[in-house]
A and B are shown apart, each in its own frame.
Chain A
Amino acid sequence: MSNLKEIKRKIKSVENTQKTTRAMKLVSTAKLKRAETAAKQSRVYADKINEVLSEIAYKINQYKVGGIESRFFDVIDNPEKVDIVFVTADKGLCGGFNVQTIKAVKRLMEEYKSKKVKVRLRGVGRKGIDFFKFQDIELKSEYVGVSSAPTYEKAQEIIAEAIEDFTNGATDKVILVHNGYKNMISQELKINDIVPVEEPAGFESESKSLMTLEPEEDETILDSLMKKYFEYNMYYALIDSLAAEHSARMQAMDNATNNASERVAMLTLAYNKARQEAITTELIEIISGVESMK
Chain B
Amino acid sequence: METLRLEIVTPEGQIFSDDVKDVTLPGSEGEFGVYPGHASLVSLLQAGVIDIELKNGNHEVVAINWGHAKVDENSVTVLADGAVSIAGDSESQIANSLENARKLLESMSDSDFAIAAATAKIESIAKSRF
Report which A residues bind B (CB closer than 8 A): 41-42, 44-45, 48-49, 51-52, 55-56, 59, 152, 205-207, 209-215, 220-222, 224-225, 228, 232, 235
Which A residue's beta carbon lies closest to that of B67? A228
Q: How far is the CA of A56 from the CA of B109 in the complex (A)?
A: 30
Cβ–Cβ contact B73 & A48, under 8 A = no
Cβ–Cβ contact B41 & A228, under 8 A = no
Partner of A206, one of B10, B42, B72: B72
Contacts of A213 in B (CB 8 A): 41-43
Chain B CB within 10 Å, residue with most, of A49, A51, A206, A207? A207
Contacts of B44 in A (CB 8 A): 214-215, 220-221, 224
Contacts of B42 in A (CB 8 A): 52, 56, 211-214, 221-222, 225
Which B residue's beta carbon lies closest to that of A51? B77
Cβ–Cβ contact A207 & B40, under 8 A = yes
Cβ–Cβ contact A212 & B11, under 8 A = no
Q: How far is the CA of A64 from the CA of B119 in the complex (A)?
A: 40
Chain A CB within 10 Å, residue with most, of B29, B40, B41? B40
Contacts of B75 in A (CB 8 A): 206
Q: How far is the CA of A225 from the CA of B14 in the complex (A)?
A: 18
Contacts of A212 in B (CB 8 A): 39-42
Q: How far is the CA of A254 from the CA of B10 in the complex (A)?
A: 36
Measured between C-beta atoms, what is the minimum distance from B114 to chain A in Å? 15
Measured between C-beta atoms, what is the minimum distance from B31 to chain A in Å? 12
Report which B residues bind A (CB closer than 8 A): 7, 9-14, 27-29, 39-44, 68, 70, 72-75, 77, 79
Cβ–Cβ contact B29 & A221, under 8 A = no
Cβ–Cβ contact A228 & B68, under 8 A = yes
Contacts of A48 in B (CB 8 A): 7, 9, 77, 79
Q: How far is the CA of A42 from the CA of B20 in the complex (A)?
A: 24
Q: How far is the CA of A247 from the CA of B58 in the complex (A)?
A: 44
Given the interface pairs A209-B72, A214-B27, A214-B29, the reply to whether A44 lies near B43 with Cβ below 8 Å is no
Measured between C-beta atoms, what is the minimum distance from B53 to chain A in Å? 22
Q: How far is the CA of A41 from the CA of B70 in the complex (A)?
A: 21
Cβ–Cβ contact A209 & B28, under 8 A = no
* A and B contact pairs by CB, cutoff 8 A, 9 listed: A41-B12, A51-B77, A207-B72, A207-B73, A209-B40, A214-B28, A214-B29, A214-B44, A232-B11
New contact pairs (18) apart from A42-B13, A52-B68, A56-B42, CB-CB < 8 Å:
A41-B11, A41-B13, A44-B14, A45-B11, A45-B79, A48-B77, A49-B79, A51-B77, A52-B70, A56-B70, A209-B73, A211-B41, A211-B72, A212-B39, A212-B41, A212-B42, A215-B28, A215-B44
Chain B CB within 10 Å, residue with most, of A205, A212, A222, A235? A212
Cβ–Cβ contact A214 & B79, under 8 A = no
Contacts of A232 in B (CB 8 A): 11
Q: How far is the CA of A244 from the CA of B9 in the complex (A)?
A: 23
Cβ–Cβ contact B11 & A221, under 8 A = no
Which A residue's beta carbon lies closest to that of B42? A213
Contacts of A56 in B (CB 8 A): 42, 70
Contacts of A45 in B (CB 8 A): 9-11, 13, 79
Measured between C-beta atoms, what is the minimum distance from B33 to chain A in Å? 14
Q: How far is the CA of A42 from the CA of B39 in the complex (A)?
A: 29
Q: How far is the CA of A209 from the CA of B29 in the complex (A)?
A: 22
Which B residue's beta carbon lies closest to that of A43? B13
Contacts of B29 in A (CB 8 A): 214-215
Cβ–Cβ contact A52 & B79, under 8 A = yes
